[in-house]
Structure 1
Amino acid sequence: MESLLPIFFAFIAGIGHAFEPDHLLAVGNLISRRDTLAEALRDGVYWGLGHTTMLVIVGAIILLSRVTFLTSSYFEAAVGFMLVVMGISRLLDQRRPPPKVRPGATPSRAAYAVGLLHGLAGSGALVLLVMSEIRDPWRSVLYFVVFGSGSILGMFIVAGLCSVPFTKRMKISRTLKVSTVTLSSLLCIGYGGWMIYGNVRW
């Protein structure tokens, strides 16, 4: 029974994982491009799905083959670089007219890709932690699935909260919206730069 306790808490841990700073900044940057709550929530779910997909794949590879190269801090640096690019891209997008998306289109592929990269970066540390608590590899994989499910719900909540300043229904002033997007983008760039600096051997 004690060996199952980490799995019982995996869902709650997954929800909390969604609120980590780099996750908040990445998803906040993504949904700042959305005009409706439904689109923002969809981005949150797609990010969670991408994160869970990579977490399960990489976690299973590390656990079953005992490889170590997937725990490199350079993956964290890659996430930092992605945040910098996202922040710069969002700043530049403010000067362009909003793209026209045809009805029925699903522009959430970017959110899924961002989730994949985040899952790759965070898998190593999580796998090592789980390996110290759960000896059965397949039970560990179950932990990742449950943890990932919690992160999907957590990011769904995050997307809903972060979307409030950006939805058209709020009818906020353009100046306030531009200021909010600019601040979000600068935070992305700054935090991403800090992640690169802290994870690359100079």
Structure 2
Amino acid sequence: MPALKSNGKCKRGSRSENNEDTYYARNVVARREYQLQYNRVRRATRRKLSKADLAALRENKLQEVEGTRPIFDNTICCRDGAIDPHRSTGMKSREDKELQYLQRRKVALSDEYAYRSDPNAWVSKYMKELSGRIDSELRDIRLYFKEAPDARDSAYWMEAVHGSRRMIALHHQERELIEQGSDIPLLAFQSRMSIPYGNRVNRREFRRLYGF
């Protein structure tokens, strides 16, 4: 059988797919890193947000990726940026008042410990006070569970329970964030990822910790 003549041209696909010198192989790590960063920033949430909230969420994620914004743990708050649709005007008013009280309390404790051997010791005392406020709220809502067992399907009962849930979550969040730095609670609020801002409570984490 006569030998086949070669026309000197390489057939398409003749280059090995495993050739490490290809453009894709040289840039595969960079492409994967870019895709991860893109997903973290542009696909930060699947929930429908207002344009302002979505822009703020993406900006926060971008700053985290670039390392210009501290990354903090806030397990009790949903990090998708969505506002709690069940947060009533009464809940907001109560949370705003509590947040103002906590701000005044932090300033007072910080001033009290300013000239002591450990000026940051006020944080431990503040965290104990937060735990006490959580315990007080839990006692009240558990007593309500016992006194109104037949009202569980009423709108009033559901609002009262959710309001208590949000108040407990507010104190839990404050305790978790203040341990990471005295400026972290404010940073979370400015990032629109905060219970007092109006974000949703992480129901699964809350139920695991507090039982309802």
TM-score (norm 2): 0.36
Question: Which of structures 1 and 2 has the larger relative contact order (alpha carbons within 8 angstroms, sep 6+)?
Answer: 1
Structure having the higher helix fraction is: 1
State the structure with more CA Rg: 2
